[in-house]
Amino acid sequence: MVLLILAGAWAAFLLPPYVRHRREARPADSISSFRRQLSILERAAPGGRSATARAPRRTAPIPTGHRPVHHGPGAPATRSEGKRRRRDVLVTLVAAAALTFVLALLLGSPAVWLHLGIDAMLAGYVWLLVQARKAAAERAAKVRYLPAPGQQDPALLLRRSASS
């Protein structure tokens, strides 16, 4: 009986994000499906895009918050998707900790060990989130993006024109 309750609780918390992800992953039309498949092929190709298939370069740099991040097949494509995924995992772990706490109060010893395990996972995940945020802040403080090709530093242009 306890295992059925636990399985139902896990299903209640894990199925909605899974279903939502599956619904968002499905393309609405054939054009978006084709573009998605083409982008996957471009990332998977050893040399990336060929010289003839290159799109014209942008003259303005892409804002940092909108740069696509490609870490692997299951990785989120944008920062907002990554934030949403981290929030979903955190909410799921907090809900599991609360549910196992109630079960521990009702059932006793076996559920206490399960609750302590969930609490350890929650604490570890929060620690990883803090470490990732510190690394991102450090990276933002140290990294300076170069201007896009075609854009030059005005001070450098003045220096060049003054020396000629």
pLDDT in tens, 49-100: 544 444 444 444 555 544 454 555 566 678 888 888 999 999 999 999 999 9
Q: Is residue 155 part of a domain?
A: no
Q: Is residue 13 part of a domain?
A: yes
Q: Is residue 152 part of a domain?
A: no
Q: 4-18, 59-73, 103-117, 138-152: which range is least confident on average? A: 59-73
Q: Is residue 121 part of a domain?
A: yes
Mean pLDDT of the region 8-14: 82
First to last CA, the chain: 86
What share of residues in the chain are helix, strand, coil (percent, to 5)? 70, 0, 30
- The Cα–Cα gap between 117 and 124 comes to 11
Q: What angle in degrees, to the nearest 10, is found between the helix axes of 79-107 and 109-142?
A: 160
Which structural domain, as residue segments, surrounds residue 9? 1-25+80-143
Q: Is residue 112 part of a domain?
A: yes
Q: Is residue 60 part of a domain?
A: no
Number of domains present in the structure of the chain: 1
The better pLDDT of the pair 69, 46 is held by 46
